[in-house]
Chains A and B, each alone.
Chain A
């Protein structure tokens, strides 16, 4: 009895430092975000007024918030679908097929991931330049130099310009993750499948995909979280929400309100909504992608 008690205490003491740090640096700040969202506060000075759920009421009446919401959802959906399919295909090709320069391609695809977002933004703002940019120069061969496309200046196009940059940046990372789990699939399965007469595509859908399913589920959650976070960095560096608010996303709107419109409490209300939204979305995705695990 006494020994068990001692053991319990030992485990408690071992866990305590981590638990305390977690509470101080994760739980309390998160609760604080929710608490701050109930105040009207400028952010710099000590004057705070409690306003209850007012910030949320205003939030759900604001066109700008819905615009940011719409853009964020569009980004999450499109970036996830495009990046997911492309990186899966590239991973399958690079790990299953014998092609020249495999290592080279792997490095090339991964490079954008090493670059900082600011560098990527500079690269893409050179690509998107209306007159001297790479993209318009190529397109001009076909459509002539009249009325150049304003990749970052047209309200209807700007969000897609950001999607392209985000996909370009993310592919390598997910590709490497998928390749790692594909390497774990035993070769013998593919051998027997091809003896049975299954083609490459059949093999991909019936063997590769089910066997790396756990990994895919994990990355889907990553997609949501990283798209919400990365889209802020891209928007900040490339357009700052412009032109005329057309490219604002969750966090850029939150930043704009909290740090430039003296509405810190309102900003925190946006933060709280984003928090709940991303949690819920990740939960839903997790639930609908649940399959019986296949062992090999």
Chain B
């Protein structure tokens, strides 16, 4: 009996000791071997540019090894380790994706404050990160999710969103690209006579960029910011009503089969409507060109891109800027090295690799001058007077059962099929906004 007790005690002690000697991950001092875990989602830009940039960083920083995880389903790969408390040091994943990875970290107050990265000097250069980044990209509600003036998410590749169309078709028919919504409706009637619909959309999710840009056109910056914080009564204002009216009117000009394909599976069939000259305009971002590169198209097809039409003659024309973000979870072990890496991402060296290998453009001053060909057309939209809009709805604590997408954008499908009226849509927005407002992060 006694022997048994002794044995079990020894074993328990052994177990306790092994627990103790499991090496804790600690940040190493300068000059030592260091490993940085970087997790990146693979997008249309491809994986190669990230491998190249990481190689270049390793070369510039002897002793540093980057452990790069890059995959289209990056979350699935890093999730098990994260559940066990093992977080990547740097993550590149934009808000707005279905998996809501950054949103979850933001809602849980689990992202590292990266404001000090802005004042870091870009490795190998004279300027600071903050000086290099284009204005507006680090002081919006996406990068400063808590509205406290601190930057938590760093802007990466950006892409203007707006309306895409077949430039050759408009030229052939002698139609002008509409600059106001009134001109848009006129064009819609003209096109209808020829059997072409004015509008289509890939799926309702694409209305986010569209909706933000429309709100900005109608409300102007200050009121737009209030709307993003779901201010009480904001959806009853004439400015908001104008936007709801236009979207509702637009649904009557929408290609009627659009909702039938407006899901993650078939949305390319809606994009195909533009290529086949069955619809004139769709809201999209410039990734659509790569996405539809292999698709058959009408003869002479040529991509055209424009900012949203203005509400009235001479009014503001807006184009939403979609951009991706890099950020660090609070569980990151190598925070200092991670910040250095993020600073490096804004160096000319890294930006050139991103631009040449992956055609990915960073919001760095002077970057759009270096572009040529098709890409120039999209990035120069802001040079021709369009206003760049790059905010999103403010972060809230999770509100069970309510998402921005299901409240604001999904009902567009029902508007097209006539299953919901504008009033029902706005009512739902008002009701859900009340709950979202109550859960706002202060």
Residue numbers of A with Cβ under 8 A of B are 40, 42-47, 55, 58-59, 62, 64-65, 121-122, 125, 128-131, 147-148, 150-156, 237-240, 242-246, 256-257, 259-263, 266
Contacts and interface: CB of A to CB of B under 8 A. Distances in A.
A237 B263 CA distance: 9
B417 A150 contact: yes
4 tightest A-B contacts by CB?
Answer: A153-B260, A153-B259, A150-B260, A243-B413
Which secondary structure characterizes the binding site on chain A? loop
B401 A242 contact: no
Contacts of A44: 79, 82-83, 101, 104-105, 108, 110
B183 interface: no
A237 B265 contact: yes
B204 A244 contact: yes
A45 B401 contact: no
Contacts of B406: 64, 244-245
B400 A45 contact: no
Interface string B242-270: 00000000000000111111111110010
For B260, B264, B399, B402, which residue has the most chain A Cβ atoms within 10 angstroms? Answer: B260
B430 interface: no
Nearest to A131: B257
Contact of B98 (A130, A131, A260): A260
Contacts of B82: 44-45
A242 B262 contact: yes
A260 B99 contact: yes
A261 B105 CA distance: 12
23 contacts: A42-B107, A44-B83, A44-B101, A45-B108, A45-B331, A58-B400, A62-B401, A130-B257, A130-B261, A150-B417, A154-B260, A155-B419, A238-B265, A242-B203, A242-B410, A242-B413, A243-B262, A243-B263, A244-B413, A260-B99, A260-B100, A261-B400, A266-B401
For A45, A156, A240, A246, which residue has the most chain B Cβ atoms within 10 angstroms? Answer: A45
Interface in B61-120: 79, 82-83, 85, 98-101, 103-105, 107-110
A261 B404 CA distance: 9
Contacts of B256: 147-148, 150
Contacts of B110: 44-45, 47
Nearest to B401: A62
A148 B255 CA distance: 11
Contacts of B265: 121-122, 125, 237-240
